[in-house]
Amino acid sequence: SYELTQPLSVSVALGQTARITCGGNNIGSKNVHWYQQKPGQAPVLVIYRDSNRPSGIPERFSGSNSGNTATLTISRAQAGDEADYYCQVWDSSTAVFGGGTKLTVL
Amino acid sequence: QVQLQESGPGLVKPSETLSLTCAVSGYSISSGYYWGWIRQPPGKGLEWIGSIYHSGSTYYNPSLKSRVTISVDTSKNQFSLKLSSVTAADTAVYYCARLCGYDSSGRWIDYWGQGTLVTVSS
């Protein structure tokens, strides 16, 4: 089965740029989606199909995908961006999630 | 605005069957899209359970397939999850969701329910 690897945690200074990676075998050939989850809440889609932002998601959120790594980039990080982030792909008619990355804004 | 709401018992005994229902409002299930279930054990990550189309076509996580049944009731605009022979490892927040996209290019989740905690304990 397909596996996705994310760092357990990423820290970023307020106002700086955070990058969260999602590794997988030839992940560049798949569409990658990203979700933000704050404590006690359901996940929220922030990026779909590698680099598309749903309505209402700030332009500070962007995504890229190439080779064996997909990346979620959060520019000008704010305190409200502190959350868990999950990448997801679709493989063999099932959703596969990464293990999640906790983003801390310092 | 599409809304999903999970309902069902919050406590299930070991070896019994967990049953949840997801009521959909703001969109008719019969109009399309796949609908799915995801769970999250306390303090852990997301795990895919399975999905269903309004026609009844289903896809299940291979690791849970032998215990999972997802069904749809278009007349009530809802879909359901049954997970049999539960153990403490099945304790989790269970989310229902709507999926976008296509099998060929990949699906993602655009709408989530708020989630419901199900505890497996005697």
pLDDT in tens, B54-87: 888 999 999 999 999 999 999 999 999 999 999 9
Yes or no, beta carbons of A33 and B108 under 8 Å apart = yes
Chain A positions in Cβ-Cβ contact with residue B110 (cut-off 8 Å): 45, 48, 54
Calpha distance B27→B4 (Å, rounded): 10
pLDDT tens-digit map of B34-51 = 999 999 999 999 999 999
Backbone phi and psi for residue B112, each to the nearest 5 degrees, phi listed first: -120, 150
Give Cα B42 to chain centroid, integer Å. 17
Yes or no, beta carbons of B46 and A33 under 8 Å apart = no
What are the counts of helices (DSSP H) followed by strands (DSSP E) for chain B? 0, 11
Calpha distance B6→B112 (Å, rounded): 10
For residue A48, the one-letter residue type is Y
Closest partner residue to B109 (CB to CB) among A45, A94, A98 is: A45
